[in-house]
Every structure is written in structure tokens, then in C-alpha cells.
Amino acid sequence: MEELKVMPIWFWVLLIIVLIAQSTWLFIDARKRESMPWLWGIWGLIQVPMPLIFYFLIVRSGWFKRVRRKDNK
């Protein structure tokens, strides 16, 4: 815990800005793609950069594609 006391205030401010920016971008982009925006937004607030990496691998690259049924009504 001693190393946390050594970190300067600008580091914490920068970390908060990065987390909020990442979370906002993930939420907005996932909402456009209809791919669980709340999950990506909340996960983006918790840590950096793993949610962004997984988002690009899973959603943007197409590894996980949702099968949509077409109703014949």
C-alpha cells in the first residue's frame, strides 16, 4: 500500500479521465452495434485496457456474431 501513497495526483486524474473516456466510447459504439452496451460501458469503467482489447476482438472483428432470426410475418 505504500506505493499508492507515492503516486502523484496527476496520475490519478489522468487514470480517471482515461477510464471515463474508454467507458463512454465502448458504450456508444456497442449501442450502435447492438452488442450489450451496458456490459461494455461498466467493464470499461473498471479497468484499462483489457475491455478495449476484448471489445475489438469480440465485437469489432466479428468473432462473436449474433444470429438474428427473420420473422416471416
**pLDDT tens digits for range 2-54:** 777 788 999 999 999 999 999 999 999 999 998 899 999 999 999 999 999 99
Task: Residue 36: give the domain boundaries.
Answer: 12-60
In a domain, 66, yes or no: no
Judge whether 61 and 48 are in contact, CB under 8 Å.
no
Mean pLDDT of 56-64: 83
In a domain, 43, yes or no: yes
In a domain, 71, yes or no: no
In a domain, 4, yes or no: no
In a domain, 28, yes or no: yes
Helix 37-46 vs helix 9-32: crossing angle, to nearest 10: 170
Name the grid cell of 31.
449501442
Residue 32 vs residue 69, higher pLDDT? 32
pTM for the whole structure: 0.77
In a domain, 6, yes or no: no
Lookup result for grid cell 505504500? 2
In a domain, 44, yes or no: yes
- How many domains does one find in the chain? 1
Judge whether 27 and 41 are in contact, CB under 8 Å.
yes
